[in-house]
A and B are shown apart, each in its own frame.
Chain A
Amino acid sequence: MNTSFLLFALLNPLFALLAAPLYMSLIRKVKAYAQGRKGPRLFQVYYDLKKLMKKEAVYSPTSSWVMRFTPYLNLSTLLVCSLFVPLVFVPEPAGGLGNIIVFLYLLALERFFTALGGLDAGSAFGGMGSSRSMSLAAVIEPTMVISFAALAFVLKSLNLHQMFALTAGKILPISPTLVLVSISLFIILIVETGRLPVDNPATHLELTMINEAMILEQAGKNLALLELAHALKQFLLMGILINTILPVGLSTEIDAGKIAVSAFLFLLKAGLLAIIIGLFESAFAKMRLFRLPAFYVMAFFFSATTILIEVFA
């Protein structure tokens, strides 16, 4: 452990945790504007989280420790994940942190426990959400593996820190194939955060839900933790995409000024991406449940193409 890494371990998760809810709000705001509404305040998600933190958690009598444990596990998993994705600056390599395979497994762990939590309360909707989430996971996970493999192939490392050390400071992506990988990463971002056309985060229709159904029975502080974990997950996936396609400004040195610029630029880039996500969500109706694999296949296609190009070019 060196000072560079200690500083990173302190700054990066803190930055992610504080900034992540903002982009949940921003996407809602963009969607509202697209529909001709004013939408909620930009800091509404923070207010909601604060309110939820004060409320008591209510548990169904059939629930076990799983439901109580899941929110804590999810948030801590995502906080560990936040050590893998450099947002403010790229630290010197340390241990296994940044390993892309560990990162994917951490996400899988989070998904697994969310699904268990959905089943635990014994409500029909939770079970339905978990069942849908797990069957779709069986399709999206290979796609994610291929996409991250393509990323690793282009950036010649299995470690996210090393990958982004390579791209850091560049204005444009270092290889044109990264554009293709970015499309895959964007689709993964949409799928993993349960956005349209995969899942509608704004719906009240229990029967159509996937992600929301699994946390329908959670309340109070537990719900706040789950929402925060969800925002964090979105923020980190946005981070991977931004560092891949638009790495401009990402610092590799420990310098207060550069880190500040890097963080500020990241907030701006994430804002831009949030606007794109908001517009993307507005442009489609939700897909039929059984058509979703076709959407995932697009991500698979772009990643596989990347690998082919890299191998033969």
Chain B
Amino acid sequence: MEIKMNEDIKELLLMVTSIAQEKPELLNARENEIYLKFSETGFIEVYPSLAERKFSLIGLFCAESFEKREGFTLFYAFKQEGMAPVLILVRETGKEKMTTSIAEAFPSASWFEREVRDGFGIEFDGAFDTRRLFLHECYPEDFHPLQKAFKNGPIRQAESPRMEYKFRQVKGEGMYQIPVGPVHAGIIEPGHFRFSVIGEPIFSLEIRLFYKHRGIEKLAEGKSPSECVVLAEAVSGDESMANATGFCTAVEQICGINVPERAERLRAIMLELERINSLLGDLGGMAVDVGFALVASPFHVMREEVFRQNEKLTDSRFLRGITVPGGLKKDIPDSALKELPPFLEKFTRDFESAYNRAISSSSLIDRFATTGVIRKELVSPLNLTGPLARASGCPADIRIDRPYGAYKDFAPQNSLRKNGDVLARYEVKADEVRASIALILRLTENLPKGPVFAESAGYAGNNSSGNISGATGYSLALVEAPRGQSLHWVYLKNGLVDRYKVRTASFCNWQAIEHAVLGNIVPDFPLINKSLNLSYAGTDL
């Protein structure tokens, strides 16, 4: 098989080979992604230098019986900030379910490794945290749902949990623990927070999530890509469009489908509407969490208006059921699209007045400024992305760094703040709403006519013809969801999904909260949490 490479990829390959003594095996390369395989000693030699060269570990996932290999194959996805190519180091464990941990060099690996361990039963030697992640105590021992040997179905719960989940103990005079959740007083998702405090200041916080595991990755196995889109949309409610686009982009890359321009533009319009929606929820929610309902209510009203606009465009308030691999299921009528610019014009006026009311209130600023600081040094090691990274002085945005779809021609305005506190995040989010509005207006202008579905893909309803049916291959797609970088890796085997890995931005961003709250007082925690807008569902597939 001949592998085509562009300049960026060649440069990356050159750099990696210059680090290593041995020459890696080039498994595959595509625009912006390259798969290299080293021997075990080669891998151990290479990865510390990647950390030195400011690569972030953006994903670590596993596949069983990948291509013609036996046993398990691990994929380590690395990316440099601001660069488009993703370097994927392939590591085989074979039948040995044992390998070494890289969490010392890449802290973000810790959760990834625990996730792989739970799903596939691979032990990572030298890991500093070996507790279970998404499998809670009630799951039986030796239960690893992502192994091919496990067939989806009811499982027998462990009668007596193997071991208690041990939280970090912080000891000292006057130190006490506050356990919060997973059941909360409000209608919010479940998560457990273990604070260690002396009086009000927080000395340590440990989070435990994964109370709502749905087995999405397992459900995807053996499904056709068009069926699988529904699963991608279900990953996280207010990121339906982003995750559907991520999944479809990966499939389109595998099958070499060129999505018609109209479909790409419409997708981008919907992605930006979704972003506005999510950000409005934050802008309102953060005001609610400091008890300022008066300032919050216009944001909630505007959010509802956007929902209704979504419904007019796609018949779905959450923009679901319209994206398919190859384009869109149906065209959006021009009459509905014509309503967008006047709607956004009025929306902008409302938004500016609501935002000015918020940001000109001294009592609000007093709560937001200096609260919950995320230092820039954390961004790369923990792979933090999205508005929270941009508020900490790191301009990462997949739409700009590694554009997909219509973003190749329509780059959004980037917003940057340096302080990394709640106020910086508030300002970044407001800026991004404005940038999204401007982008939608540019996208709707001179919208090309034509099909919204690539015929070469074969129609989603009948799997008989087209490029997707019978396709085999794998590809990685990154999209900028409202919360940040969302990673989708799809492995198709004979036109069916063999492995679908999603890693939403929240999976990495959650780990920032343990750092952001240090030194803050307990009553400021809900505000910090809301300002980070972390999805529980998006983390726990």
Contacts and interface: CB of A to CB of B under 8 A. Distances in A.
A binds B: yes
Interface of A: 31, 34-37, 124, 128, 131-132, 196-197, 200, 202-208, 216, 282-291
Contact of A128 (B178, B294, B296, B297): B178
Interface string B50-84: 00000000000000000000000000000000000
Contacts of A283: 294
B525 A207 contact: yes
Q: With a 10 A CB-CB cut-off, give which of B178, B179, B296 has the most chain A CB atoms.
A: B178
Contact of A205 (B289, B295, B364): B289
Given A285-B364, A286-B367, A288-B367, A36 B297 contact: yes
B180 A206 contact: yes
Interface string B275-309: 00000000000010111111111100100000000
Interface stretch (B332-340, B456-464, B516-524): B516-524
Contact of A124 (B180, B294, B364): B180
B525 A285 contact: no
28 contacts: A31-B293, A31-B294, A36-B297, A36-B298, A124-B177, A124-B180, A132-B200, A196-B291, A197-B363, A202-B291, A205-B185, A205-B186, A207-B525, A207-B526, A208-B289, A208-B526, A216-B185, A282-B293, A282-B294, A284-B292, A285-B292, A285-B364, A285-B367, A286-B291, A287-B363, A288-B521, A289-B521, A291-B366
B184 interface: yes
A197 B521 CA distance: 17
Interface string B123-139: 00000000000000000
A91 B200 CA distance: 47
Q: How large is the interface on B (under 10, 10 to 19, 20 to 34, 35 or more residues)?
A: 20 to 34
B294 A200 contact: no
Given A285-B361, A285-B367, A207 B294 contact: no
Given A205-B289, A285-B361, A288-B367, A35 B521 contact: no
Interface in B520-537: 521-526
Nearest to A204: B186
Contacts of B186: 204-205
A286 B366 CA distance: 10
A124 B363 CA distance: 28
B291 A197 contact: yes
B294 A34 contact: yes
B291 A128 contact: no
A266 B291 CA distance: 30
A289 B523 contact: yes
Given A205-B289, A285-B290, A285-B364, 5 more contacts: A36-B297, A36-B298, A124-B178, A206-B180, A290-B521
Nearest to A281: B291
User: Which 4 pairs from chain A and chain B are nearest by CB?
Assistant: A204-B186, A286-B291, A200-B291, A35-B297
A203 B366 contact: no
A207 B179 CA distance: 10
B451 to A, nearest CB: 43
B533 to A, nearest CB: 15
Contacts of A291: 366
Interface in B146-185: 177-180, 184-185
B180 A207 contact: yes
A313 to B, nearest CB: 34
Contacts of A207: 178, 180, 522-523, 525-526
A57 B361 CA distance: 42
Contacts, number: 83
A196 B203 CA distance: 28
A120 B298 CA distance: 41
B363 A284 contact: yes
Nearest to A124: B178
Nearest to B286: A285
B290 A286 contact: yes
Contact of A202 (B179, B293, B361, B367): B293
B77 to A, nearest CB: 36
Contacts of B298: 36
A181 B394 CA distance: 52
A204 B530 CA distance: 13
Given A124-B178, A197-B291, A286-B292, A204 B297 contact: no
Contacts of B296: 35
B428 to A, nearest CB: 20
Contacts of A284: 291-292, 361, 363
Contacts of B297: 35-37
Given A36-B297, A285-B361, A288-B524, A204 B180 contact: no
A282 B287 CA distance: 12
A294 B367 CA distance: 15
A284 B357 CA distance: 12
Interface in B332-387: 361, 363-364, 366-367
Contact of A35 (B180, B293, B525): B293
Contacts of B199: 131
Contacts of A203: 291
Contacts of A124: 177-180
A98 to B, nearest CB: 36
Contacts of A132: 200
A124 B291 CA distance: 22
Nearest to B365: A285
Nearest to B193: A207
A286 B368 CA distance: 11
Contacts of A285: 287, 290-292, 295, 361, 363-364, 366-367
B364 to A, nearest CB: 5
Contacts of A131: 199
A197 B367 CA distance: 11
Contacts of A204: 184-187
Given A208-B523, A289-B523, A36 B301 contact: yes
A216 B364 CA distance: 27
Q: With a 10 A CB-CB cut-off, give which of B292, B298, B524, B526 has the most chain A CB atoms.
A: B292
